[in-house]
Structure 1
Amino acid sequence: MSLAPDATVVLLAVPLAASALLAVLPSYRLSAALNVAAAFAAFLAAASLFVAAPRPNAYIVIDDLNVVFIVLNTFVGFTASVFSATYIAHEIDTGRLGATHLRFYHAMYQFLLFAMNLALIANNIGLMWVAIELATLTTVLMVGIYRTQAAIEAAWKYFILGSVGIALALFGTILIYMAAQPVVGEGVPAMLWTTLIEHAPQFDETLLDLAFVFLLLGYGTKVGLAPLHAWLPDAHAEGPTPISAVLSGLLLNVALYAVLRFKLLLDGNARALAPGPLMVTLGLVSTVFAAFMLYRRRDVKRMFAYSSIEHMGIIVFAFGVGGPLANFAGLLHMAMHSLTKSAIFYAVGQIAQVKGTQQIAEIRGLTVSHPLLGWSLVFGVFAIVGLPPMGVFMSEFLIVSSAFERAPWLALTLAAGVLLALGALVLRMQGMAFGAPVGPTAPAKASALPMLSHFALVLIAGVWLPPPLVAWFQHVAQLLR
C-alpha cells in the first residue's frame, strides 16, 4: 500500500494537531519536545513523497515541482524547531518571554508550518492564496511577540505591506479564474492547477497577462523583491531568531513557488506575455539594490535580511532567464540559500544572546571570545557570498554562465551586484569576527547542531551533488521551461 496519501495527511494534520496541543501545554520541556517531534514527522512524510506520490484531487496535488519545495520546507522547519528548543529557553531565563508567550510561540510555529505545507500542496489556487495569507498573519503575530515598541511597529508594517501584497495576489487569482471560466466552466474546476495547466493554451491572453502582473507584484511582496521589500528587514530584526530563519529559509520560497506556478500558465499560452523579462527586471533590481544597502546596515540581523533580498533577486532572475541550465541553477540556489541563510541566523541568534545586542559596532572579536560562533559566522559569510567550494558558488556560477549566453550585459550587472554584496558582508564580518573581544564572554547556550548540519550540507553540495538529486533538479528545470 502506498504511503504517499498518508504522507499528505501527516503534512497537514500533524502540525495542525500539534498547534492545538501546544497552545495549552504549560511545560517548556514537553512543548519543546513535541514541537521538534511534530516537525520531524512532517519531514519524514515529505521525504516519503520522493518514493510515492498520490494522485491529484480537488484539494491536493503532488508533482515533481512542489516535492522539492516541500522537502526543503520541512527539513528547515525541523532544524529550526531543534534550534528553538534551546534558543527560547534562554529567552525565558532572561525574562524576555513568559509562559504565555511560550505556548503562543510553539502553537504559532506549528500553525505556520501547517500553512506553508498547505500552500505548497494545494491544487486549488484559491486555497493556496488562503494558506499564504494564513502564513503571513501567523508570522505577523510572531514578529511582535516581544511586545516592544520596535517589535510592534515591525509587525504592523509587515501586516500592512503584506496585506497590500496579498490583496494584489487575490485580484490576480480572480483574473485567472475569469480567464479559465469560459473554457472549463464555473466552480472548482476553474481553480485547479491540474485543470488550468491543461487548458492554458485556450485562455484569454489579455486576462493572463494582467493577472500575472498582479500576481508577480502581490506574491513578489512576500518574496521580498525590491521595491516591495520594506517589511522584511524590520521583521527579521525584531522577531525571534528562529522565525528569521524560517522567514528567509522557507516563507520566501513558498511565495516564490506561487510565482513559478503562475509562470507555467503563461508559458503554456503562446499568445500570452512572456513572464521572463518582468522577472529578470525585478530580480536584477533587487540584487543590485540590496547589495548597495548592505553597506549602510548597523544591525546584524537587518544586514542579513538585505542579503536575503539580494539572493531572492538572484533566484527570480535565474527563473526569469529560463532554460534548463538557468532553471537548474535557480533551484539549486534556492536550496543553498535556504540552508545557508537559516544557519547564519542560527549563529547570529546565539551571538545576539551572548553579547546582548544586535548592533554590529558592539560585536567584536568573536573568534577569540566565542571561537565556535566566530568561525561559524566567518564560514557562513564565505558561503553566502558564493566563495568556492561552497554550494552557493556553484549555483551563482551557473546562473551567471547561463545569463551570458542570452544577455551578457544583464549577466555583468548581476555579477557586479554579487561582488558588491560580497564586499559589504566580508567587510562587516571582519570587524565582528576578529580583533580584541568586546562585551560579555558568557558561553552560548543554544544548540549548535542545526547550524553545523546546514553548513556541512552546503559544503558537501559545493563539492559533490548526489546523482539522483541532480537528475531530479534537471527534470524539474525542464518542466519550468
Structure 2
Amino acid sequence: MTIDALGAILLIPAISAALLAILPGYLLTAKLNVVAALATFLTSLSLFVIEPTSGQYLLLDDLNKVFIVLTTFVGFTTSVFSASYIHHEIETGRLTPAFLRFYHAMYQTLMFAMNLALVANNIGLMWVAVEVATLTTVLMVGIYRTHEALEAAWKYFILGSVGIALALFGTILVYMAARPAVGEGPDGMVWTVLVQHAAAFDPALLNVAFVFLLLGYGTKVGLAPLHAWLPDAHAEGPTPISAVLSGLLLNVALYALLRFKMMLAVNSAAIAPGPLMVTMGLISVIFAALMLYRRRDIKRMFAYSSIEHMGIIVFAFGMGGPLANFAGLLHMTMHSLTKSAIFFAVGHIAQVKGTQKIADIGGLTVTNPVLGWGLMLGVIAIVGLPPLGIFMSEFLVVSSTFSRAPWLTAILVLGIIIALGGLFLRIGAVMFGEPKGKTAPAEASYVPMFTHLALVAMAGIYLPPVLVTGFTNVAKLLG
C-alpha cells in the first residue's frame, strides 16, 4: 500500500505529462493539469495514514512527508493560478498555442522530477531527479523566446549545470567513502544503508564530499554567492514558474542537502556541517538584504527576497538542535506559502499594468484595491511582522540562536531588519503612490493567493497540534 501510494505520486504527473504533450486545446489541457496536480496532492495526504515502508529505490519517513505535502499542495494551487494566467498570456500574444502543450507537459514533468527527488532512497537517483527538474525549468524559463528570457535560461543552464556537476562529484565521493564499509554495488547508493554505516566511513572523503555537495546543491538553493541564476530566472520566466521555483524547487535542493547533513552527523570524525551552513546562510541573508535596495524589477526584487529567506532557513538548520530545526521547517513552510502568494500577486500586477518595472507601477491600493492589499499582506508577512507565520518562525530562529551564539543573532537580526527596510522602501510607491500605468482587470484567479495568505495568517496565531507534533519529530530526526 505504501509503495503504491509512493508510486502514484510519481505516476500521476508522469502519465499526465505524456497526455498533455499530445492533447490539443487550452481548456482541456489546463483542466487536466489542475486535476493531475490535485490528485497528486490528495495522494500525498494519504501517506499520513499509511505505515511508511522504504525500499531500495523509494523512501518514506517523517522528513520527506513534510516536503512532499508542501510540494504537492503548492503545485496544485499554482496549477489553478496558472490555468487562467496562461490563458491571458495566449490572448495577449506573449505565448502561442504551439507552446501550450509544451508548457503544461513540462509543468507535470517538473512535478514528477521534484517528487522523485523527495522520495528517492538512492542518492544517485535523487541527483538525477534534481537534474531533470533543473533542465525542465530551464526550458520553461525561456518559453517566451525573448532575448532576455533566452539569456536568463542560458545563464540558469550554465550555472545550474556547474552546481549539479559539483553535486555529482560529491555524490561519487560519498560512494567512495562508503565502499570499504558497505561494499560495491547498489547498496553503496542507498541512503538508508549509508546512514546506518556512516560512522565507519572515511571522514576525510566525507569532508570533501560535503563541501562539494554544499556548493552543488547550494547553487540550486540559491545561496550567495552561488545565486546569480535565480534573479534572472524569476524575472524572465512565466509567473507560475517563478512561484514554483521560489516556493518549491529551492526546497528540493535543500532537502538533498539535509539528507547528507544527517549522514555526516553520524560520523563523529567528520567535519561538522553546521558551521559551513551557518556561514553561507548569513552571507546570503546580508547580501540579499542589501541588494533589495537596488532592484527596479518587482519580480527580481522578490527573487532576492527568496535568497534572503533561504539563507535564514539554511542558517537555522546549520545551527541544529530541536528548536532551530523546528524553526527551520516552519520557516521553510511559511516562506513557500508566502512567496508563492506574492508571485501570484506579481503575476496579476504584470497583467493589470502591463509591466514589471517598479517605477511604472503605482497606487495599486487605489486602482486595484483587492490586488493591492493582497500584495501588501504578502509583503507584511514576508518581512516577518507579527502576527503572521514568518514572524513566528523568525522569532524561534532568533531565540534558539541567542541562547547559543548571541553575536550570530546580532548579524542575523541586522540582515532581517535591512531586508525589511529595503522591501518597504521599494514597495511603498507601488502600493500607495500616485496611480500609474494601465488599470486593466486581473484575469487570473485570486483564490490561490488568498488561500496561501490565510494559511500563513492562521499559522501566526495557531499551529494545529498535529503539525507541531510532526515538525517536532522531524526536528529530532535532523539532530
What per-residue deviation string (whole Å, max 9, x for no partner) do you get for residues 44-95 of structure 1? 1111111114421111000011100000000000000000000000000001
Provide the C-alpha distance between the structure 2 equivalents of 1:455 and 1:120, rounded to a whole number of angstroms: 25
2:122 alignment partner in structure 1: 124
Please report the RMSD computed on the Cα atoms of aligned residues, expressed in angstroms: 0.6
* Residues in 2 aligned to 1:273 and 1:176: alpha-carbon distance in whole angstroms: 14
For residues 295-350 of structure 1, give each alpha carbon's deviation from its aligned partner in whole angstroms, at most 9, with x where no partner exists. Answer: 00000000000000000000000000000000000000000000000000000001
Alignment of 1:70-81 (within 5 A): 70-81=68-79
The answer on whether the counterparts of 1:267 and 1:274 sit within 8 Å (CA) in structure 2 is yes
**In the aligned structure 2, how far is the partner of 1:204 from the partner of 1:55?**
29
Deviation at 1:435, TM superposition (A): 2.7
* TM-score normalised per structure 1: 0.99
The answer to whether the Cα contact below 8 Å between 1:219 and 1:259 also exists between their aligned partners in 2 is: yes
Equivalent residue number for residue 17 of structure 1: 15
Deviations 1:204-251 (A, max 9, x none): 100110000000000000000000000000000000000000000000
Q: Report the counterpart of residue 474 of structure 2 in structure 1.
A: 476
Corresponding residue number in structure 1 for 2:282: 284
**Structure 2 residue aligned with 1:213:** 211
1:26, 1:56 → 2: CA distance? Answer: 39
- 1:26 Cα shift? 1.2
Letter in 2 for 1:243: I
Any idea what SS the aligned residue of 2:49 has? coil
Alignment pair present for 1:57 and 2:52: no
**In 2, Cα distance between equivalents of 1:44 and 1:262:** 29
Residue by residue over 1:349-391, the C-alpha shift from the partner in whole angstroms, topping out at 9 and shown as x without a partner, is 0101110100000000000110111001110100000000000
> Distance in 2 between the 1:205 and 1:395 partners?
34
**CA apart distance, 1:436:** 2.4
- CA distance in structure 1 between the aligned counterparts of 2:39 and 2:7, rounded to whole angstroms: 11
How far is 1:439 from its partner?
Answer: 1.1
Q: Which residue matches 2:233?
A: 235
For residue 427 of structure 1, give the secondary structure of its aligned residue in structure 2: helix
Please give the secondary structure, in 1, of the residue aligned with 2:127: helix
Question: Which residue of structure 2 lines up, in the alignment, with residue 177 of structure 1?
Answer: 175
In the alignment, the residues of structure 2 paired with residue 365 and residue 24 of structure 1 have an alpha-carbon distance, to the nearest angstrom, of 43
**Range 433-442 or range 471-480, more displaced:** 433-442
Q: Which residue of 1 aligns with 2:5?
A: 7
Over the matched positions of the two proteins, sequence identity in percent amounts to: 72
Q: C-alpha displacement at 1:100, in angstroms? A: 1.4
Amino acid in the other structure paired with 2:169? F
Q: Distance in 2 between matches of 1:395 and 1:151?
A: 35
Amino acid at match of 1:233: P
CA distance in 2, matches of 1:32, 1:305: 26
Deviations 1:79-120 (A, max 9, x none): 000000000000000011111111110000000000000000
Determine the C-alpha separation between the residues in 1 that align with 2:303 and 2:164: 21
In structure 2, the residue corresponding to 1:50 is in which secondary structure?
A: helix
- Residue in structure 1 matched with residue 452 of structure 2 by the alignment: 454
Q: How does 1:411-430 map to 2 (within 5 A)?
A: 411-430=409-428
* 1:84 is the counterpart of 2:82: yes
Q: Which amino acid aligns with 2:287?
A: F
Is the contact between residue 26 and residue 99 of structure 1 (CA under 8 Å) also seen in structure 2? no
Q: TM-score, normalised by structure 2?
A: 0.99
Count of equivalent residues: 479
Q: Is the 8 A contact 1:161 1:231 kept in 2?
A: yes
Q: Which runs of 5+ in 1 are unaligned?
A: none
Q: Secondary structure, in 3 states, of the residue corresponding to 2:149? A: helix
Which runs of structure 1 show a deviation greater than 6 angstroms over 4 or more consecutive aligned residues?
A: none
Tell me if the contact between 1:10 and 1:41 (Cα under 8 Å) persists in the aligned partners: no
Q: Give the conservation status (yes or no) of the 8 Å contact 1:5–1:53.
A: no
- Residue 145 of structure 1 deviates from its aligned partner by 0.1
8 Å CA contact retained: 2:56, 2:122? yes
Secondary structure of the 1:411 match is: helix
Whole-Å Cα distance in 2 between the matches of residues 301 and 340 of structure 1? 14
Contact 1:249-1:339 at 8 Å conserved across structures = yes
Read off the aligned partner of 1:297 and give its amino acid letter: R
Q: How far 1:284 moved relative to its partner?
A: 0.2
Pick which of 424-433 and 270-279 moved more.
424-433
SS at match of 1:23: helix
1:428: how far off?
1.4
Distance of 2:204 and 2:139 partners within structure 1:
38
